[in-house]
């Protein structure tokens, strides 16, 4: 049985890192700011995976994004997933060759699902996370693509069933309504999961404190919880949250946080 996981998400917009609330973005700093305020060699011992999403509005620069991904891999010792705006096999290659272990795909489920098969053939299905952004419209859970700007006509249940049949490794389900609110995950999303879900499920959107992570991991259908709220977990927030989860008996990997200091010293010396 796979262990549960805690995932930290970074939102990237054309060279800057952002906070998001209901998909409205607020800039907080560039790569230098991020590296100064977040010691990733230390944070790596408090999370199980780092997810970097390019949420740039308008034209994206895959070369620039890949360079930022590569910079973040230099201090991070957990798997890294990166995505946002991937429309071609070459875009996926650039990210995976820049140090990412997985790519995150979203809109191409609607526009070009065949590309998912191409990526899986070259890199394996375990290298693919498909994300789904969900919002309540007229008392119905609807799927949105293109950075939450295009509503899909297909019902959420059918959308998730389609993803379950694609050659992908994981599903990332994100609530637009709860995004950045710190009000907790929208667990109603889970009732739409296929009865026989064959891939691990990550829930996102709304985590603002330890209790929210705990509530998410308590759900049997959830394999991982994600948070993209940088400021809620600044300082030792992630470290304390992981320790509390372990104390509550969640089956997380156990990292030796003291080794982080030694690793940071080695990097600094170099």
Indicate the SS3 state at residue 112: coil
φ/ψ region of 8 (left if φ > 0, alpha if ψ in -120 to 50, else beta) reads beta
Give the whole-angstrom CA distance, residue 175 versus residue 202: 12
Give the whole-angstrom CA distance, residue 268 versus residue 266: 5
For 159, the enclosing helix (H) or strand (E) is helix 156-164
For 264, the enclosing helix (H) or strand (E) is helix 258-269
Active-site annotation, residues: 133
CA dihedral 218, 228, 91, 119 (to 10 degrees): 0
What pairs with residue 136 in β-bridges? Answer: 141
Give the whole-angstrom CA distance, residue 116 versus residue 198: 17
- Angle, CA of 98, 100 and 103, to the nearest 5°: 115
Give the whole-angstrom CA distance, residue 15 versus residue 3: 34
Nearest to 54 by CA among 88, 90, 21, 95: 95
Asked if 131 contacts 118 with a C-beta cutoff of 8 angstroms, the reply is no
Give the whole-angstrom CA distance, residue 191 versus residue 34: 36
- Token look-up 């009732």 returns 191
- Token look-up 């230098």 returns 32
């Amino acid at each position: 049985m796979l262990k549960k996981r805690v995932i930290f998400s970074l939102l990237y917009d054309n060279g800057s890192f952002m906070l998001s609330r209901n998909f409205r973005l607020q800039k907080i700093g560039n790569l230098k700011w991020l590296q100064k305020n977040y010691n990733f060699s230390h944070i790596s011992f408090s999370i199980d995976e780092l997810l970097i999403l390019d949420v740039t509005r308008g034209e994206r620069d895959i070369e620039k994004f890949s360079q930022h991904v590569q910079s973040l891999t230099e201090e991070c010792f957990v798997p890294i997933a990166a995505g946002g705006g991937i429309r071609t096999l070459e875009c996926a290659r650039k990210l995976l060759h820049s140090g990412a272990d997985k790519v995150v795909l979203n809109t191409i489920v609607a526009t070009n699902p065949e590309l998912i098969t191409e990526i899986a053939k070259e890199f394996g299905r375990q290298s693919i996370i498909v994300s789904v952004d969900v919002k309540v419209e007229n008392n119905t859970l609807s799927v949105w693509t293109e950075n939450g700007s295009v509503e899909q006509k297909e019902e959420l249940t059918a959308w998730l069933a389609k993803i379950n049949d694609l050659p992908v490794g994981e599903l990332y389900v994100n609530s637009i309504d709860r995004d950045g609110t710190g009000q907790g995950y929208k667990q109603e999303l889970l009732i739409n999961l296929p009865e026989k879900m064959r891939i691990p499920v990550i829930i996102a959107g709304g985590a603002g404190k330890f209790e929210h992570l705990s509530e998410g991991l308590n759900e049997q259908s959830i394999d991982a919880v994600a948070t993209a709220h940088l400021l809620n977990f600044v300082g030792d927030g992630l470290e304390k949250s992981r320790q509390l989860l372990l104390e509550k008996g969640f089956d997380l990997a156990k990292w030796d946080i003291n080794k982080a200091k030694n690793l940071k010293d080695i990097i600094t010396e170099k």
